[in-house]
């Protein structure tokens, strides 16, 4: 006997992600889901951003990793509430893992919650966690062919940060081609070029972020 | 790699749906998976095979229908099936498009056999 079901397989996650999102809406917290490969510069970007914004905005951070609490220790050293979630093998964070960590924060006193996802260019793209925006960071050294090889992550992201652009003179990275491919994969994608090492372009990123936070608070 | 998490969600739904049919066995599950979803069918099958062992869906086969990527072009006012991954109108090459299908991760139906 055949039974009709017709359900989104990830429905359970969608429900929890929506509950998380409602909580963030209530409290006026702007939430970024930061995704990218291992080594793209996620944690370094977070450190820079926390340092820059700490006097202006109230920030909290969730660090997702398969194992270790190294990243959380790095961020916590800057004096912001930080929670490490170890996925114990899972290649991505999901709504439920994030929900489990939310009680650790007092969202009355938070403007911005950064969630650093597990380093991975595929899996995190499929799982909503209740974020306002997915921000993707990719380093120039990963190659200019990534929009074609990993289109889904480009498609679900609002903003793409191309990091390590200070290395462009030394590598074969066709910025024009990369931009064109990224835009054709996701016509709504905003793209900023940055270098966390030299600081190039980071002001544009801070401005983008502050605008989003302010809009959410209003 | 996230196919394991997807298989777990799938198994939960299957078990829930089979609950009213006591003693039944699930033999086949039909899925619709969008062309742009990042799911590898073989990895999903393997994960499901492993986690369904010992339960009502042990040995069930996954029948996967790939849902094509369809874009609605707001300029041409038409829906096109495209290969992807570019979200461009194949007719006018414009970027003012909207995805109509291609991201599905759906269970459509399942076949159960009476246990009695």
Point out the residues of chain A with pLDDT beneath 50: none
CB contact (8 A) between residue B5 and residue A90: yes
Q: Please tell me the predicted confidence (pLDDT) of residue B23.
A: 86
CATH number of the domain encompassing residue A190: 3.40.50.300
Q: Which residues of A113-135 are buried (b: 16+ CB within 10 A; e: fewer)?
A: bbbbbbbbbbbbbbbbbbbbbbb
Query: Would the pLDDT of B68 be above 80?
Result: yes
Output the average pLDDT for chain B: 94
Answer yes or no: is A4 within a domain.
Answer: no
Q: Above pLDDT 90, what percent of chain B?
A: 91
Q: Please tell me the predicted confidence (pLDDT) of residue A97.
A: 94
CA distance B25 to B41: 22
Number of domains forming the structure of chain A:
1
B109 contact A CB<8A: yes
A66 contact B CB<8A: no
Pairing of strands A112-116, A2-8: unpaired
Answer yes or no: is A5 within a domain.
Answer: no
Q: Please tell me the predicted confidence (pLDDT) of residue B100.
A: 96
- The structural domains of chain B, ordered by start, are 3-68+102-113 (3.30.2320.50)
Q: Please tell me the predicted confidence (pLDDT) of residue A32.
A: 98
Measured between beta carbons, which residues in chain B are less than 8 angstroms from residue A185? 85-87
Q: Please tell me the predicted confidence (pLDDT) of residue A217.
A: 83
Answer yes or no: is A9 within a domain.
Answer: no
CA distance B21 to B14: 12
User: Within the 82-111 window of chain A, which residues sit less than 8 Å (CB to CB) from chain B?
Assistant: 90-92, 94
Residue A30, CA atoms < 13 Å, CB-side half-sphere? 19
Answer yes or no: is A20 within a domain.
Answer: no
Query: Would the pLDDT of B116 be above 70?
Result: no
- Asked if A114 and A62 touch (Cβ cutoff 8 Å), the reply is yes
Show the domain range for A153: 30-217
ipTM: 0.88
């Amino acid at each position: 006997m055949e039974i009709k079901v017709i359900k989104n397989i990830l429905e359970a996650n969608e429900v929890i992600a929506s509950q998380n999102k409602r909580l963030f809406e209530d409290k006026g917290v702007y939430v970024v889901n930061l995704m990218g490969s291992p080594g793209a510069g996620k944690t370094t970007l977070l450190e820079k951003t926390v340092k820059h914004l700490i006097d202006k905005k109230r920030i909290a951070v969730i660090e997702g990793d398969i194992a270790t609490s190294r990243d959380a220790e790095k961020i916590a050293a800057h004096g912001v509430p930080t929670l490490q979630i170890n996925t114990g093998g899972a290649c991505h964070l999901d709504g439920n893992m994030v929900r489990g960590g939310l009680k650790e924060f007092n969202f009355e006193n938070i403007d911005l919650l950064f969630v650093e996802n597990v380093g991975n260019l595929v899996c995190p793209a499929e799982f909503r966690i209740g974020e306002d925006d997915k921000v993707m960071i990719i380093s120039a050294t990963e190659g200019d062919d990534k929009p074609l090889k990993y289109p889904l992550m480009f498609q679900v992201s609002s903003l793409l940060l191309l990091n390590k652009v200070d290395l462009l003179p030394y590598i074969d990275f066709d910025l024009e081609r990369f931009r064109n491919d990224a835009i054709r994969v996701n016509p709504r994608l905003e793209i900023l070029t940055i270098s966390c090492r030299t600081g190039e372009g980071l002001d544009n990123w801070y401005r983008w972020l502050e605008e989003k936070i302010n809009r959410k608070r209003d | 790699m996230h196919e394991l998490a997807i298989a777990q969600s799938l198994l939960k739904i299957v078990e829930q749906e089979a609950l009213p049919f006591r003693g039944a066995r699930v033999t086949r599950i039909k899925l619709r998976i969008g062309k742009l979803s990042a799911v590898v069918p073989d990895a999903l099958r393997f994960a499901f095979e492993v986690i369904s062992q010992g339960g009502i869906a042990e040995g069930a086969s996954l029948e996967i229908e790939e849902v094509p990527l369809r874009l609605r072009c707001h300029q041409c006012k038409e829906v096109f099936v495209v290969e992807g991954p570019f979200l461009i109108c194949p007719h006018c090459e414009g970027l003012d498009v909207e995805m109509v299908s291609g991201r599905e991760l759906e269970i459509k139906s399942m076949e159960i056999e009476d246990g009695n």
